[in-house]
Every structure is written in structure tokens, then in C-alpha cells.
Amino acid sequence: MAKIHRLDSRLANQIAAGEVVERPASVLKELLENALDAGARQISVDVEQGGTKLIRVRDDGGGIDQDDLPLAMSRHATSKIRGLEDLEAIGTLGFRGEALAAISSVSRLSLASNSGDQAEGWQVTVEGRDMAPSVAPTAHPRGSTVTMRDLFFNTPARRRFLRTEKTEFNHLEEVFRRVALSEFQTGFRLSHNQKVIHQLPPGDDETLRAARVARLCGRAFMDQALTVDIEHAGLRLHGWMGLPTFSRSQADLQYFYVNGRVIRDKVVSHAVRQAYADVLYHGRHPAYVLFFEVDPALVDVNVHPTKHEVRFREQRMVHDFLFRSLHRAIAEVRPGEDQYSGEGRPGEAAPVDEVPAPSQGHMALGNPAGGAPGVSEGPRRSFGGGFGGGYSGAFTGGSIADGARQAGAYGQMVSSMPAPTGAPEASHTPPLGYAVAQLHGIFIVAENEHGMVLVDMHAAHERITYERLKRDWAEEKVRSQPLLVPVSMAVSSREADFAEQQPQVFQRLGFMVERAGPETLVVREVPALLRNADSETLVRDVLSDLLAHGSSERIEQQLDALLSSMACHGSVRANRRLTVPEMNALLRDMEATERSGQCNHGRPTWTQMSVKELDRLFMRGQ
């Protein structure tokens, strides 16, 4: 066996660089974090050949003193922590003191800096086998400039793993985007091969923040983004979350920051997925730019060399806070009155470059019928606040006809009115307007002050029934409706055994199912909301789901899918002809129902076409 010896400093740094420097984007991440930790308010990044030839980062931060420059290029040298107590509550982006040493071991690196206390700046370079630092005077304003040239010039094996210039620049630009979204008070500029790609002015007011997000994430995201700002028990979540109608085929527009640090965390990802669970179409991913603030002592950022992962000391508390906050925000999105007012959504600042109002409508934030304040009052909402008011539900029984009868005076008023021929007065027009006609027994055509509304009646009613089943289940008061004639149905012995052994599960769901023979069940009661559904088919589907989920604990976990299946059976079907009062009753219920913009499967339930869009179709005014 070979004798034990000490590695020379260059080789040791190159080994360490394998953890820190994967590609040019890794270099930029470390340099940008150092600039922000230095208090920079303007950062310029110049890149050539995707970052393999040149990466130059200039900032106007605090700078480095002449005597500290040689030390800054050595390993494990930092100004950000001094003792164990600092490591347990890290408030900076960087803290390990390895970045510059690692980068300099696989490239030609120079650092010029001026702390502002000197008449001229100083520049340090490392060269030679022992990486000895060399300091020389240079003209430089307050701040620092780090110049990296010829990445992996001395490690050709690693250079061969780099991709094309375009691919490497795409990775580098993504890192720039992540950092630029984390610090709005700092201005950023990025140029590639002498061409300016991004020029982002500093500014922390709502208008400039929204403008930066629109430029980096796209106007389409901001068109359909919900502003959130929620605080509870020392935790704060704020930023923008995309509406369910704005989803992605990949998880490529998800930015989550913990105390300003962009991270990827399983606890966070699970909480977000759960919040979007029954409003997002299968196979799609939500989009968001969210900032989470927590006491630094409650999060450990020292768990990964690249600092992309963190560990929360109270994972369950963090998960529940994120899930409940996002879930509540999505639930409070209803058809709103301000969608096409031209003033933007309530609680959302319009960017400087005038992000246009959405052309396809979907949900805007509103407060229908003057109910208790929801999201529409502004970006700030207290955690745990419920939603009240709104239009009272018309479909308490489960059928459209019953709902229309229960609408009372409102239904009589609508039935006596002629179909509206012009735009109703804004002060009296509900967000989804008034029904005009039914199309092919599938869609409801309505008119509101902005133009035409088209509603998928089955999808909308399915969501209404589903939300009521969930609410009744949570309150343990799913009401049953006795059947005038009990339904006898033939089943397998396994199904009959399960129904006999788990009567409490059926009772909780609103069923009374009794065993009448080895392979026979009798259905005596069904949920009141679903009393007009096909009882035998409904029970068979529920029984199939219950058998698939096995134990009652598993059933609890799969409850939403089970209730969704039940709601589908109790919803109005296609080709069902509705009267005008019945259609209006459905529209009013949609305005008062949580998550009414999507059906149980994540498909949209309604869309809007403005008068301007209709004019364009027929080239009016052109």
C-alpha cells in the first residue's frame, strides 16, 4: 500500500471544486451570492461563450480590504461566520469560504476590489502550482469585480463534460433568473457575447416587483397569478402563485425561497402538490414564485455542498402552514367582478410595462355579492381566516330543478325577465352575468358586463356537489335520504362481506347498505345531495373504491377521490335541458363555491370572451 502523504493545495482545491463547480452556472451562482452578501445594490454580469471563456461579475458592495485579499482566495476563509452559534442561525447566502478557492483551482481567476477607504483598488490573482496569491494595485471604484476565464483549462477531462454554448448559457441564465427574483432592491444586468440579455432596475415597491417577475417569468404568468401574503406564528409566505388554469407540462416555473435562498425541498414540494391536488389537471405542474420567511435558527442550510437543500427543524409545522395557506388562497378564487375592469386584479400591482388583462377568462379575484372579504381585498390576508357571505347555495338538494325552486324570489324574478339584450348595469350584474341560452345541452351561454360567458354545466355542477360533500364530511353531517323503494343489488361475496364488516364507512358517506343474502345487498338510504343519481351504479362505484383502498385509514387518505367520484354521479348530465332560472341558479352557486373555476379533474368550468374579443372576430371597428 502506498505511503500516506498530504495533498498539495491545488489538487485539494480541485477535488473540492468537484462539489462546488459543476459548470459555468455553478460559478455564477457562487459569485452572485457573494455580491449580495456584500450588500451590492447593482450587479453586472458579462459572459462569453456560455460562461466557459469568461464570467465577470461586478458589484458596488462593501468591497475587500487590501490585507484581506490574499486570504479571500484561500480555502475556509470567510467573514460571514465566526463560531458555532453563527452556524446555527445563518443569515447569509454563503458561509463556507470555499467558492473562490475552488473556482481559482479550475480556472484563471482574478479579484479586484476597493473597500471605499482607499484611494485606489487592489487586485489579487493566484498562479503557479502552489496557488500563491499575487497582489497589485489597480484602478477600481468601491465594490468588487471577479473575473473568471477559461473554465477547466487545467482539467480537460471535466471540460469534455460541458455541453454546447447554448445549453450552458441556458443553465447560466436560469441561475441569474433565480438570484434576480430573490433580491428586488438590487439591480441586475446580464450580457452574453457583448449583447445585453437582461436589464433589471432596482426597486422594492409592488409595481417594480411585479414588473421584474413579469420580465423573468413571462407576462402570461403574471396575467394569471394570485398575489399572496400570509403570516402566522412567526412564519410568513408571500409572492405569486399561478392560478390552476395556468399550469405547465414540466416543473420549470417553480421558485421557492427560504429567507432569500432558492431551495428544492421535499417538504415544500409535497405541501404545494397537496394544495393544488384537486384543481390541477393530471400530469400538469403548478407555477409559483414564493418567498418563505422563518427564524434562521429553525432551518439548517448546511446540509448540501451547493446549498440547494435545507432541513426544517419543525417540518410538520412548516408543511401544514404552507399547505393551508396555499389551499386557502386557491379556494378563495371565485369568478370576480374586476376581471375585465382594466385596473388589474385587486391586490395585484400592474407591472411597469403594462401586463395585459387575460384574454381567456378564468378566475379573477372578486367578492361576490358583497360577502365577507376574501382574497380580493388585497395581497395581505391573515392565516386561518374563513370565507363567509356570497350567494347562498341554490342546490341544497342535488338536482338543478330543486335548486331553482329553492332560489325563491330570485328564481321568480329571473323567470319573469326577458332575456337581456344589452349589457346590464354594472352595479347589478353578478360576475358570471345572466343566462341567455343553453348550447347543445352542454354549455350555458351567459352575458355579463364584460361580454359573453360560456359555462360547462356538468363540470360546474360537479365542482359544486363535490365541495358540498367535502364540507359535509368535514362537519360529519352528510345527510341521508331514505329511498322510497329500497334497491336490491347482486354483488360478489367479497363485496357483501366488506359492506357487512364496514357499515360505519358507508354511514359516514351517507349510505345505509344492508346485507340481504350471501351475494345480495339492499340500499335503503343514499346521500341527500345525490338522491337523484342512479343508486345502484353509485353504490357499486363507491364499493369498488372502498375495496381498492382497503382499510378505513386508507379510505381517509383517498377521501377526496372517493367524494369526487360520488359528486360526478350526482351532477347534471349533458343533454339535460335547463330553464333560464335553473341556469341562473347554477351560475349563482358557482360564484359562491370554492374552486369553482375547475371541475374535480382540473378542467376549466367556464371561460369569458370580452366585447373587444368578439369585435375582433368580426373585424368591427377595423
Partners of 205 in the β-ladder = none
Read off the pLDDT of residues 477-494 as tens digits, 9 standing for 90 and up.
778 889 989 999 999 998
Regarding the domain with residue range 9-200, which homologous superfamily does it belong to in the CATH classification?
Histidine kinase-like ATPase, C-terminal domain (3.30.565.10)
For the segment 530-570, what is each residue's pLDDT rounded down to a tens digit? 777 788 888 888 888 788 766 554 455 567 777 888 888 77
pTM as predicted = 0.71
Q: Would you tell me which CATH number, out of the four given (3.40.228.10, 3.30.1540.20, 1.10.630.10, 3.40.50.1220), belongs to the domain 391-622?
A: 3.30.1540.20
Q: Burial code of 9-29, b = ≥16 C-beta within 10 A, e = fewer?
A: bbebbbebbeebbbbbbbbbb
Query: 29-56, pLDDT tens digit by residue?
Result: 999 999 999 999 999 999 999 999 999 9
Residue 401 reports pLDDT greater than 60: no
3-state SS assignment for residue 311: strand
Taking alpha carbons only, the member of 398, 430, 439 closest to residue 578 is 439
3-state secondary structure of 524: strand
> Domain locations in the chain?
9-200, 205-386, 391-622
Please say whether the beta carbons of 47 and 54 come within 8 A: yes
Give me the DSSP letters along 24-66: HHHHHHHHHHHHHHTT-SEEEEEEEGGGTSEEEEEE-S----G
| pLDDT tens per residue across span 322-332 | 999 999 999 88
| CA–CA dist 269, 312 (Å, integer) | 13
Residue 47 is predicted with a pLDDT of: 98
Give the Cα separation of 302 and 176 in Å (integer): 22
Q: Which class is domain 205-386?
A: alpha beta
Question: Which residue's C-alpha cell is 438570484?
Answer: 179
Is residue 468 within 8 Å of residue 595, measured between CB atoms?
A: no
